[in-house]
Amino acid sequence: MALSPEEFYDHALAAADGERRLPLARMTSWDISPFEQDGLRVSPLRPPVLPETARHGEDPADCRNCRDRDEGIWFNDRWRLARVPGVGVPLVLMLYPRDHHDMADLPDELAAELGLLTTRIVRHMQALPHVSRAHVYRIGDGAAHLHVWFFARPEGQAQLYGSWLVVWDDLLPEYPADVADADAATVAGALIGSHGGRRDPA
């Protein structure tokens, strides 16, 4: 059985200093880290708060992603794909089920299609000129409606490797929207060819 919230907190505090600050992560010494270790410090570890704050959309009637079920660059009857604006990397896409599901309650048919869609979206993003890799993330702490992130890593930017990519994305200046729109349209067209679907929600 997993540690209780209090046990987990006590376990973590055993490694912290008198201000409840844990040592810097090993990742900060990697040459791909966006931060230099000198002067960097960890925020104090806060005690657990229970019950946890409800995520957005726990009630489907209040779910923004359900209201936006007809917004995006690609659709079929079960899924929609949208471009996330205002990012620093070449392209960030988000895949959502059109109906209200989270990962744990996704019906088997949609779960199987999620696997195919994920593979095909990655394949089409990586086929774009000057994109070396497409990273895939599912987190789920902020919203109860399943949303899967796809981040394009720019070619030649070895410092943006791996799990630091999302942090670099937040630090970089906004990528040109017209270029990202054109690349998103290319991915949507390729997805229609490989998986079916359409560019409009109807």
Q: Helix, strand, or coil here: 136? A: strand
Contact 77, 196 (CB under 8 A): no
Q: What is the pLDDT of residues 129-158, one digit of tens each?
A: 999 999 999 999 999 999 999 999 999 998
Give the per-residue pLDDT at 202: 86
Q: How confident is the model at residue 39 (pLDDT cuts 50, 70, 90)?
A: very high
Q: What is the pTM of this model?
A: 0.93
Q: What is the mean pLDDT of the chain?
A: 96
Q: How confident is the model at residue 4 (pLDDT cuts 50, 70, 90)?
A: very high
- Give just the sign of the alpha carbon dihedral 123, 101, 70, 175: negative
Q: Helix, strand, or coil here: 200? A: coil
Q: How confident is the model at residue 196 (pLDDT cuts 50, 70, 90)?
A: very high
Q: What is the pLDDT of residues 96-127, one digit of tens each?
A: 999 999 999 999 999 999 999 999 999 999 99
Q: What is the pLDDT of residues 50-87, one digit of tens each?
A: 999 999 999 999 999 999 999 999 999 999 999 999 99
Contact 83, 150 (CB under 8 A): no
What's the rounded Cα separation, in Å, for the pair 16 and 10?
10
